[in-house]
Each structure stands twice: as structure tokens, then as C-alpha cells.
Amino acid sequence: MSHTLRSVELYLVRLPLVRPFTTSSHTKHHLDHTLIRVRDQDGAEGWGECASASDPYYCSETSETSWHMLRDFLAPALLGVRWGQPDEAAATWARVRGNRFAKAGLEMACWDLFTRVRGEPLAGAIGGTRQEIHSGVSLGIEPTVEGILEQVEHYLAQGYKRIKMKIGPGKDLAYLRAVRERWPAVLLMADANSAYSLENAEHVAALRALDALNLMMIEQPLADDDIVDHARLQAQLETPICLDESIHSVDDARKALDLGSCRIINIKVSRLGGLSEARRVHDLCFARGIPVWCGGMHEFGVGRAANVAMCSLPGFTLPGDVSGSDKAYRQDIVDPPIRAHSGTIQVPWSRLGLGFDTDFALVKANTVRELLLEDERAALHA
């Protein structure tokens, strides 16, 4: 069985968040992600999601740069080229450097198409084994300590199994300590999104103070492009460091582990450029006994479904950021919606591909821009 894409459709879709989300760098009220539909020579379809943000505050890619990459480089490289499995599709754009969020979106659409045509669930095709996944929530910085206590209470009442709190200098120890005092046994961690510096003695003291709180880990305390200072910091902390922003590939993961820059890795399909590379990071960590969990980018249902499939791999032993859609959005664009019950999400083993069907009417209702790209060679022969 092989596929030759005849069209790639891009839909820039905007969904409002149920609650503004603040990290150490900025506040978001809505997200703009690009949904991608691919169609092959037989009319078979697949959906993918490019989860880059509208601003360059988490990584350098934005919704505009990834749209540009998809339109001008990735889709043109793939359209009209025959491929047997998704890694061969990804090989068509191998000379494009970086731009991993854009690549991840198109590769995901190829995986969805590939597994639907083969009649299998995505989770099985990538080596998943779990029937259900354990789910946590990622909570933004709140203006007050009372505000974060309310948020934690709300999500623990729903059964979520782990709480991640965004932190930054001045919004760290007091917030985390208040949560720890009220819930002494809850699985708790912090994500700094690169807000601290090893050069700054107050920053280092603040991070060391967190050792008293029995946190599962501190995620990405230092610069987004660093693995050297993180190794120095890890040597001064008891709390494990988890890297997010700094890890773009399996090679980055190997180097960070060899250097001692982290003891845990956050696997994000988008940041790693697709499901295949995410799986390679999983396999490396699994072989070395390094725990991993699946991070998120507030994905809509398409990208979230890919995250659910990823979490079904055996090495995902820690509850991650893959929550039910309703944690972020009142109305998602997939059917059925992705729901967590008592902090677990069922892996859709009885369904094909991503396992959640894209509701095209809902996509269109929230689309702010769209583009159809076609195989010009096929059009010439038609």
C-alpha cells in the first residue's frame, strides 16, 4: 500500500481558552493552531495539527512561520511523491532545518491517513500498550495564592492525578508552599519556562528552596537553548530537573542525559518534530530507565489525540499534561470530545487512526484563514 498526496489543506483555527493562561513570559486568551487535512490518490484523508503559538515566547516558531513553512516548503516537497509509511513522507522535507512544529503537524496528518487506510489505531502503530493514560493538569500563574489554591482544588476534585504549576521569580516558593501545605501528598511539580538564570544568586537560592517541598521535578528552569548550565544546577538540587524547551531531538536528549542536565524528559510531539522522533526519545529513555511524560501545547482535539496515542507507550510512567479538552476549551473540534474521567483518558483502541474524528463544520466555524495546496503534476496530467 502506498500513498501519493493530491492535496494538503491548511486551516488556521482560533479557539478561546476557558480561562486565561499565564506563564513566566506572557498571558494567553485564545490559541491559533493550524489544522491540516491531507488527501491521497484514492481520496483517503488524514488530519494533523500544527500547535505553534501566535507569539515566539515559548519557541521561535509561530503560527505565521509554520504556515509559511507548510505552504512554501513542506507541502510542496510532499505533494505528488509516493510514500509507503510516514517516515518516508517526512524524508521528503529532510533538508528543511528546524521548524519542527510545522513538520510535526504534517507528519501527524500522514500518520492518521496511513493508520486509517491500514485499518489500525494510531496507538498500536507507534507501539502503544496502555488501555488508559494517567492525566494531570498544567495550571497558569494566578494573580494571588488564593487563586491557585482554588484552581488546584477544582482539578483535584475532578480526579486529575498530578498538578503542574507555572512559576517565575517572585511567583514560586509562596505559591508552591501553599499548595503543598494544603495537599501534602499530591503529585506536584513546577514549570519555570526558562525564567531563571544560574548567574543570578537570588534565582539559584529560590530554586534550592524548592527542595523542601517534595516536588516531582522542576521543568526547564534555565534558558531554552541550554543544557550545560542545567547540568551545573542539577548538581546543586535534590529535586530532579525535567527538560522541555531544550530538547528538540533524540540527539539532544542523549546529550542532556549524558551531561546530567536532567533526570526526566518532557516529550512533546510538536517540539520534537513529530510522532516518530517523539517515539525515538521515548525509546532512548526507556532503555536507560529515564522516566518520561507527555507535555502539551494546549492542543485542539487533533493534536491532543496524537498525545493520547503517544502516552500509551510503555515508558510514559508519569502523569503528564494531556488533560481532557474541557480543561482548555469549551467546545473542541473533534467528535467524540477527549474526556478525562477520574484523571484517566481511555486510549481509543477500537477506532482507526487518531481515534477522534475531526468535525469539519466546527473547524470551518472557527477558521480565520484557509488554503488549498494541490499536486501540480497531477493537475497537469488531468
List contacts with Mg ion (CB under 5 A). 191, 219, 244
243 to 282: interface string for ligand OSB, x by CB under 6 A: -x--------------------------------------
Q: Is 63 in the site for ligand OSB (CB under 6 A)?
A: no
68 to 107: interface string for ligand OSB, x by CB under 6 A: ----------------------------------------
Q: What residue number has its CB nearest to ligand OSB?
A: 296
296 binds, among ligand OSB, Mg ion, none (CB under 5 to 8 A by kind): ligand OSB
Phi and psi at residue 80, to the nearest 5°: 80, 0
- Rounded least distance, CB 23 to Mg ion, Å: 8
Binding region for ligand OSB (CB under 6 A) out of 100-108, 147-155, 176-184, 294-302: 294-302
Between 3 and 271, CB nearer to Mg ion = 271
Q: Is 296 in the site for ligand OSB (CB under 6 A)?
A: yes
- Rounded least distance, CB 92 to Mg ion, Å: 30
Between 6 and 298, CB nearer to ligand OSB = 298
Q: Is 58 in the site for ligand OSB (CB under 6 A)?
A: yes
Q: Is 295 in the site for ligand OSB (CB under 6 A)?
A: yes
Between 107 and 321, CB nearer to Mg ion = 321
Active-site amino acid positions: 166, 268
Residues that bind ligand OSB (rule: CB under 6 A) add up to a total of 11
Residues that bind ligand OSB (CB under 6 A): 58, 138, 191, 193, 244, 295-298, 321, 323
